[in-house]
Structure 1
Amino acid sequence: MNYQEPFTFQSGFTVKNRLVMPPMTTLQSFYDGTITSDEINYYAERAHGVGAVITGAANVTDMGKGWPGELSIAHDEDLPGLTKLASAIKAQGAKAFVQIFHAGRMSRFDALNGQQAISASAVAAQHRDGSPKTSTPREMTLTEIHETIDAFGTATKRAIEAGFDGVEIHGANLYLIQQFYSPQSNQRTDEYGGDRTGRFTFIKQLLDSVFNAVKQYADRPFVVGYRFSPEEFTTPGITLEDTFYLVDQLVKTPLDYLHVSLDSFDRVAQSDDYKQQSILAYLHQHIAGQKPLVGVGGVRTRHDVETLLKNAEFAAVGQQLLFDPTWVQKLEAGQDADMVTGDFTDAIQYMPFNHPLYQFLVQRYQ
């Protein structure tokens, strides 16, 4: 598949090519979630050339905030900044999608002003060795569940009002939506827990909330995507079989695309039953063209793009664009030799990052 081919989504919305800037945490917003001029410039600089930009996670409620410096879409007061962000991205010729999420038990203590994080159940996240990864959250009440579902719909309404072209629902990376689907984090005995069907209930109702907002408020084609993580490393945890079930449910909905969260696009599954090819390849075959799939993870070269697009409709380019903002222009011009190829740890030192982003990258890479 040629990365330069346009694509028209189910909603009737067309993007100019198959390259996407995926959501990445940058800690560039103000503490209250208001967007900064630095953040707007950061996105605008990287939007030129890609078909679409998906912003970093934006919390839909104050209790859903994961970390200081995170974008907010929880209040009408956020609309002026969000409008500027959507306009800046679209001015570069890219479509602008905002990722909406709730961190659940993954919220940092300092992000919630000392309040206890909430989740599907009062179960702490775990490292691979079984040791606690987070403090123990408080189990959400039914009222809180319903309010959170409604908040995703209200956030979608704000995204429409701000001029975004779509939203991506963040159902990956151990955050709240994934917490409801995981048998590790969801040990509820009501309608939101139990087997796969019960654990999918929260997702189903949340999707309905988002779709209803689009139907009610969108006066133009508006894209809705869904990001998911294919496996968890805990036992119990989400397996690839669980993910196949999840995908089977998602393809029945009006979603425009699915986005699998991977650290490497050629990663192989943990399960001995799925070692013959990459997770991305298994997923692409399972979806069988029912929805376009966005692949991601370690895309740095033309060869990476071409290889990934054998098993997905879109290639998301994250860290490479972070450190090499004009990478797409180099790709289009055949200037592959000018692409940043070194270790990202070294690249931090010669890129003009603002202080919050620089500090975050130093902590992450060094």
Structure 2
Amino acid sequence: MSYQFLQPKTLKSGVQIKNRVVLPPMTECMALENGEVSREELRYADIHTGGVGMFITPVAYVNARGKGFEGQLSAAEDRFIPGLRKLARAIQKNGSKAILQIFSVGRMSTSAILRGQQTVSASAVAALRPGAETPVALTATEIEQTITDFGEATRRAIAAGFDGVEIHGANTYLIQQFFSPHSNRRTDKWGGSVEKRMTFPLRIVAEVQRAVKENSNRPFAVGYRFSPEEIEEPGITLADTLKLVAKLDTLGLDYLHVSMGNVWRTSLRDHDDQEPVIKKIQRAVSQTPLISVGSIDTPADAERVMTADIDFVAIGRESIREPQWVEKVVAGAEDSIRYTLPLADLDELGIASPYFDFLAGMDAGGAHIGFVPALNQPTMADAEDPVFKK
């Protein structure tokens, strides 16, 4: 069968993507304690790449106070470039494009993870999560430095040989915190109206694009990831997000990545609105390709995304248990695609104990990573959950 998701696409930057299947950024917790790329991470990348058109790494923090969890990649200093270069080369096997996701975590960290430093955010407002610490509001000077840090992380990604970066503006982290009326209570130019709350995200996009223009002599992609809504009050509404994406659509980005637990989910805030959120986003975007993610397992699931005129389909949880998904589709061996993950397969799939422990911990926290019985074996599930995405 001929699938649309196997067709190539060239991005605005000139980066050529061999198919429309994306491996989205998923937390692995397998980097070294200091943020360097580990052998386990390189092995996992080597096992899981090659078939997909784009492989987006687990998120790397751009400065020391941007670290969100143990075992996270760092792009905060030049000394990390050699390890990042090894990771990029591992991903680029068989033509997969390597995209480094970058962020600062903001208030969604802890002083323990930050080795005694206080968490930071747009304002001194704690997240509505059990045990959340109250952050300190970034000063105007610190905001400008953070923007610069995103540009420097981009420069390092270019030096390391990546094919692009994805700006992580989703999943409650710092960029989203500036856009959110819950976490951003500022009265200066960085907060207030939805237009002012856009200032920080838009400045970061401009800085990353500047870094690409000044440092790359080859096609280099820039994408942006966002979460459409928040359930907090006050929180980000779909109306807010549609204004943001309409603006992002004019900036020459290579793609916009919509972070949701299900491609076809409807509004979290307005339960009477039964139109899929992705349809609303499509109407707001006319110039920029979209990546959609969430509960995509089978080739039929992926093709449904294509027939809805969405440009790329990201396969998360299924890519964990079946790294040869694309290759098996191409070979006409769909019947051999693995949809369960017995414990006996963990080593074969490069899932080291920190990654397994993270998934198990997410299950205990009710994030639907759960161990779903299949053939009397524990099975990984729901890696697309927004909480899981880093």
Aligned to 2:27, which of 20, 25, 28?
25
Q: Give 1:311 shift.
A: 4.4
Aligned-residue offset at 1:37: 1.1
Match of 2:61 among 59, 62, 65: 59
Map of 2:387 onto structure 1:
none
* Alpha-carbon separation, structure 1, partners of 2:276 and 2:203: 31
Change (3 A) 1:192 1:274: farther
Q: What residue is the counterpart of 1:351 in the other structure? A: 346
- What amino acid is the match of 1:338? S
Q: In structure 2, which of residues 149, 153, 156 is the aligned counterpart of residue 155 of structure 1? A: 153
Quick one: distance in 1 between partners of 2:235 and 2:19?
Answer: 35
For 1:328-348, what per-residue CA distance to the aligned partner results, in whole angstroms no more than 9, with x for missing partners? 212222222222224x6xx44
Which position in structure 2 is the counterpart of 1:92? Answer: 94
Partner residue in 2 for 1:255: 253
2:67 is aligned with what amino acid? K
One-letter amino acid matched to 2:106: G
The counterpart of 2:144, out of the listed 143, 146, 161, is 146
Identify which of 313, 317, 320 aligns with 1:319: 317
Gaps of 5+ in 2: 364-369, 371-390
| Amino acid paired to 1:350 | D
Moved more, 352-361 or 209-218: 352-361
Equivalent residue for 1:202, pick from 186, 200, 205: 200
- Per-residue CA distance 1:136-191 (angstroms, 9 max, x = gap): 10010111101000000000000000000000000000000000000000000100
Partners of 1:348 and 1:209 in 2: CA distance:
44
The answer on 1:290 being equivalent to 2:290 is: no
Does structure 2 retain, via aligned residues, the 8 Å contact 1:2–1:306? Answer: yes
- Cα contact 1:167–1:225 (8 A) shared by 2: yes
Q: Residue 301 of structure 1 aligns to which amino acid in structure 2?
A: T
The question of whether the paired residues in 1 share the 8 Å contact of 2:76 and 2:149 is answered with yes
Note the C-alpha offset of 1:274.
7.2
Spell out, residue by residue over 1:8-54, the C-alpha distance to the aligned partner (whole angstroms, 9 max, x if none). Answer: 11112210110010000000000100000110111121111110100
Task: Tell me the alpha carbon deviations over residues 308-328 of structure 1, each in whole angstroms, 9 at most, x when there is no partner.
Answer: 221410000111111211112
Aligned match for 1:333, one of 331, 334, 357: 331
Kindly indicate whether the alpha-carbon contact (under 8 Å) linking 1:348 and 1:362 is maintained by their aligned counterparts in 2: no
**Secondary structure, aligned partner of 1:231:** coil
CA contact (8 A) 1:44 1:92 kept: no
Q: Does the CA contact (< 8 Å) of 1:95 and 1:165 recur in 2?
A: yes
Partners of 2:332 and 2:240 in 1: how far apart? 41
Contact 1:296–1:317 (CA<8 Å) still a contact in 2?
yes
2:305 corresponds to 1:308: yes
Aligned residue for 2:84? 82
Q: Which aligned pairs between 1:234-245 and structure 2 lie closer than 5 A?
A: 234-245=232-243
Q: State the AA in 1 paired with 2:152.
A: T
Query: Hey, which bits of structure 1, 4+ residues long, moved more than 3 A?
Result: 271-274, 347-350
Contact 1:268 1:274 survives alignment (8 Å): no
| CA deviation map 1:176-231 (0-9, x unaligned) | 00000000000001000000111111112111111110110010011000000001
Is this contact kept in 2: 1:106–1:174, CA < 8 A?
yes
Match of 1:106 among 105, 108, 114: 108
SS at match of 2:112: helix
TM-score, with structure 1 as normaliser: 0.94
Instruction: Give the letter for the 1:56 counterpart.
Output: P
Is 2:60–2:72's contact at 8 Å kept on the other side of the alignment? yes
Shift of 1:106: 0.4
Counterpart secondary structure, 2:178 = helix
The TM-score, its normalising length taken from structure 2, stands at: 0.89
State the alpha-carbon separation in 2 of the partners of residues 351 and 268 from structure 1. Answer: 34
What letter is aligned with 1:13?
Answer: V
Partners in 2 of 1:314 and 1:215 — Cα distance? 25
Aligned to 1:125, the other structure's residue is in SS state coil
Would you say the 8 A contact 2:346–2:352 is kept in 1?
Answer: no
Shift of 1:268: 1.0
SS of the residue corresponding to residue 110 of structure 1 reads: coil
Q: CA RMSD in A?
A: 1.5
Contact 2:252 2:288 in 1 (8 A): no
- Per residue, is there more helix in 1 or in 2? 1
Secondary structure in 2 matching 1:109: coil
Aligned 8 A contact 1:280 1:311 in 2: no
Q: Identity of counterpart residues, as a percentage?
A: 45
The CA distance in 2 between the partners of 1:37 and 1:337, in whole Å, is: 32
SS of the residue aligned with 2:98? Answer: strand
The one-letter amino acid paired with 2:296 is: V
What are the ranges of 5 or more consecutive residues in structure 1 without an aligned counterpart?
A: none
Q: Distance in 1 between matches of 2:101 and 2:356?
A: 22
Q: Secondary structure at the match of 1:38?
A: helix
